[in-house]
A = this chain, B = another copy of it.
Amino acid sequence: MARAATTSDAFNAIAEPRRRQILLFLADREYSVNEIVDGLRVDQPSVSKHLRVLRDTGLVRMRCSGRQKLYRTNAESIRPLHEWASEFERYWTHQLLRVKDRAEKKAASRAASSDSSSPKKEE
């Protein structure tokens, strides 16, 4: 088994820089494929393929309008990503606080004396 299929989940879908770019581009409103092509200066088949992946993972939605197809980001399907990030946020905050804490302690001890606070071998 090689890498998991891109089509299967949103995390894999946003692993590709160009797709993140497209997502950002589509963030504010609807765009046709050609507008994306012109806006990002990527060739059309490539854009279509990326849009396909984004659509399969549900990250964007498509609407037909004459011969054009209008794409936009899909809020609901993007939520799992957001929630995953949020799940970490708690820990991150803790860690950041700890980092801040440590920095303050260090500064304090540096101010009090010039004792070397036994730096741990961190890689």
Contact flags (1/0) for A10-32 with B, using CB distance below 8 Å?
A: 01101111001001100110000
Report the count of interface residues on A (CB-CB < 8 A). Answer: 41
Docked CA distance A88–B25 (Å): 11
A85 at the interface (CB under 8 A from B): yes
A81 at the interface (CB under 8 A from B): yes
> For chain A, what secondary structure do more than half of its interface residues adopt (helix, strand, loop), or is it mixed?
helix
Smallest CB separation, A11 vs chain B (Å):
5
A120's contact among B14, B17, B63, by CB below 8 Å, is which?
B63
Interface residues of A (CB under 8 A from B): 3-4, 9, 11-12, 14-17, 20, 23-24, 27-28, 55, 61-64, 73-76, 78-79, 81-82, 84-85, 87-89, 91-92, 95-96, 99, 120-123
